[in-house]
Amino acid sequence: MMDDHPNLREAPDRVEIDTNLPKVANRTTSQIDSIPLDFDEVALRTKRLARTREMMRENGLDAVLLFDPYNQRYATGSRNMFGYFLRNSTRYIYIPLEGDVILFEYPGSAHISTWLETIQDSRESKVVFASVNGRDRDVLKPFATEIAALMRQDCGEGNLRVGMDRCSHTLALALEAEGLEVEDCMQMILHTRRIKLPEEVACLALSMSAVETAVWNVEKKIDPGVSENELFAEMYHGVLLGGGEFIETRLLSSGPKTNPWFNEAGARVLRPGDLLALDTDTIGVNGYYADISRTFHCAPGRPSGYQKSLYKMSWEQIQHNASIAKPGMTFREIAEKAWKIPERFYDLRYPSIIHGVGMHGEKPIIAHAADLDRYTGDGVLETGMVISVESYIGEPGGAEGVKLEDQFLVTETGLQPMSDYPFDDSLLTREV
């Protein structure tokens, strides 16, 4: 692969921008105004539950047991101590193909979900304290007999199939010992979640609005002497005030910590001339994701030619990949037509060029062409998906790197931007 930017370290301050590139993400007017932000929360929950049950019919499942908090929320709207249950898979929801949805909840907390029209009954989880008390094996029989009895009540006798998204393998074995056939249904549910309802698109737009405000709060505070931790706290503060819930990562770094990518926010203090890069990775309004990345220049002074060249390449990668992606294209077609990273920057490429967005980073994952078979597999970009287009440009041993990312709704004609957050003019504008 040819290097399109020779002698980049010695690049002059004058950087030519290719004005023929489609300015998909460099906008001056709102791109989300056409998305209705008013929606019926009951309709959102009932439609998602209906989709879950349709998935069950298509895959021959008589019931599912959902342990994953994201899947629980998708199917029913029920949420409880989200971070706790991400690491303690002990709260579960039973959904039969027909019959009552039952929440098996942490003691004393069922009231936060039983008002939901998607949940008809609640019981105490049989496994909630088992691991910390060393009683894992003691709870297997009570857990499995209860679920087996419910399934025979709701689904009849015979070869009954239950889907489980995540759990201890001993729970699955216990259900099999009760005569049930256990299937891993995680990929089935993620496949169902890939196409967004209109109500979900509204939630995603609301989350993006909150995140953009949070990023603006960060940008206003970028000055020499401020620490990465202070800026990350500012972003988190804005997310919470905007109705968001939490940030999945701490990807905010400055100066030499921007190369390679994935260094987390820490005590480092910004210096004049540094780059500051961040990735929002936010679980926002109603639990829907907002995922953009921006890189800023810390004044005083002007960005160097090297910084501007890095930024230009990252910007071009986003613009190009967003412009070529169309519904109906295979993941392989998109990867093969994607912007070609210059050779000297290829080793530090971001793992994916596109990933799905929903309640978190979801399907699809489209890797670079050389990595496609390892990370992606077959698939087609579909209308109704929401995706983020990613770029990281930095070279091994380089002084800094640039991270950019934008989020889009896949429409019948192409990608509709969901973010209005501008790019850094000081890094994009030509010098006179």
Give pLDDT tens digits for 228-285.
999 999 999 999 999 999 999 999 999 999 999 999 999 999 999 999 999 999 999 9
CA distance 160 to 62: 6
How many CA atoms does the CB half-sphere of 317 hold within 13 Å? Answer: 30
Contact assessment for residue 242 and residue 211, using Cβ atoms and an 8 Å cutoff: yes
Query: Are 8-30+194-428 and 41-192 the same fold in CATH?
Result: no
- Axis crossing angle, helix 198-220 with helix 41-58, rounded to the nearest 10: 120
pLDDT (0 to 100) of residue 134: 58
How far separated are the first and last CA of the chain, in Å rounded? 32
**pLDDT, tens digit (0-9, with 9 covering 90-100), for 187-208:** 999 999 999 999 999 999 999 9
Mean pLDDT over each residue of the chain, to the nearest integer: 90
97 pLDDT higher than 70? yes
CA distance 119 to 117: 6
CA distance 71 to 51: 12
Angstrom CA distances, 112 to 40, 189, 345, 406, stand at 20, 24, 50, 35
168 pLDDT higher than 70? yes
- Catalogue the long-range contacts made by 29-35 (C-beta closer than 8 Å, 24 or more residues apart): 30/420, 31/416, 31/417, 31/418, 31/419, 31/420, 32/205, 32/208, 32/209, 32/417, 32/418, 32/419, 32/420, 34/416, 35/201, 35/202, 35/205, 35/409, 35/418
Taking only Cα atoms into account, the Rg of the chain, rounded to an integer number of angstroms, comes to 24
Bridge partners, 408 (sequence order): 387, 417
Query: Residue 355, class by beta-carbon neighbours within 10 Å (0-12 exposed, 13-18 middle, 19+ buried)?
Result: buried
Which of 155, 149, 35, 173 shows the shortest CA–CA distance to 97?
Answer: 155
pLDDT (0 to 100) of residue 256: 98
Which of 135-144, 253-262, 327-336, 375-384 is predicted with the least confidence, judged by mean pLDDT? 135-144
**pLDDT, tens digit (0-9, with 9 covering 90-100), for 345-383:** 999 999 999 999 999 999 999 999 999 999 988 899 999
**What's 244's DSSP letter?**
-
Identify the residue with better confidence: 305 or 11. Answer: 305
- When pLDDT is averaged across residues 3-27 and rounded to a whole number, the result is 36
**pLDDT, tens digit (0-9, with 9 covering 90-100), for 315-326:** 999 999 999 999
Which of 145, 143, 142, 159 shows the shortest CA–CA distance to 62?
Answer: 159
Strands 92-96 vs 161-164: parallel, antiparallel or unpaired: unpaired
pLDDT (0 to 100) of residue 191: 96
pLDDT (0 to 100) of residue 429: 72
Residue 215: count other Cβ atoms within 10 Å of its Cβ. Answer: 24
pLDDT (0 to 100) of residue 25: 37
- When pLDDT is averaged across residues 36-65 and rounded to a whole number, the result is 93
CA distance 372 to 51: 29
Which of 219, 142, 128, 144 shows the shortest CA–CA distance to 178?
Answer: 144
CA distance 417 to 22: 13
Domain 8-30+194-428 part of CATH 3.90.230.10: yes
pLDDT (0 to 100) of residue 124: 95
- When pLDDT is averaged across residues 115-122 and rounded to a whole number, the result is 97
pLDDT (0 to 100) of residue 16: 37
CA distance 315 to 263: 21
Place of tokens 């080793």: 347
CATH topology classification for 41-192:
Creatine Amidinohydrolase; Chain A, domain 1 (3.40.350)
Contact assessment for residue 208 and residue 285, using Cβ atoms and an 8 Å cutoff: no
CA distance 231 to 239: 13
Identify the residue with better confidence: 425 or 17. Answer: 425
Residue 159: count other Cβ atoms within 10 Å of its Cβ. Answer: 9
Which of 6-15, 207-216, 310-319 is predicted with the least confidence, judged by mean pLDDT? 6-15
Domain limits, the chain: 8-30+194-428, 41-192
pLDDT (0 to 100) of residue 187: 95
CA distance 412 to 326: 8
- When pLDDT is averaged across residues 161-174 and rounded to a whole number, the result is 93
Residue 2: band (very low, low, confident or very high) from pLDDT cuts 50, 70, 90? very low
Angstrom CA distances, 234 to 207, 217, 363, stand at 17, 7, 30
Distance of CA 168 to the CA centre of its chain: 25
